Amino acid sequence: MWEEDVSESGQVLSEAIAMESEAAEGIDAAQAEQQSGRPTLSIDLLRQAIEKERASLDLLEQSVETLRMSFEQRRQALDQEAEILDQLMSEINERS
Confidence of residue 2 (pLDDT cuts 50, 70, 90): low
**What is this structure's pTM?**
0.62
pLDDT at 5: 65
What's the rounded mean pLDDT across residues 59-78? 91
pLDDT at 1: 63
pLDDT in tens, 17-52: 888 888 788 888 878 877 887 777 778 888 888 898
3-state class (DSSP) for residue 36: coil
Burial of 23 per CB tally in 10 Å (0-12, 13-18, 19+): buried
Is the Cα torsion angle 61, 64, 70, 71 positive or negative in sign?
negative
Cite the beta strand spans of 1-96 per DSSP E.
Answer: none
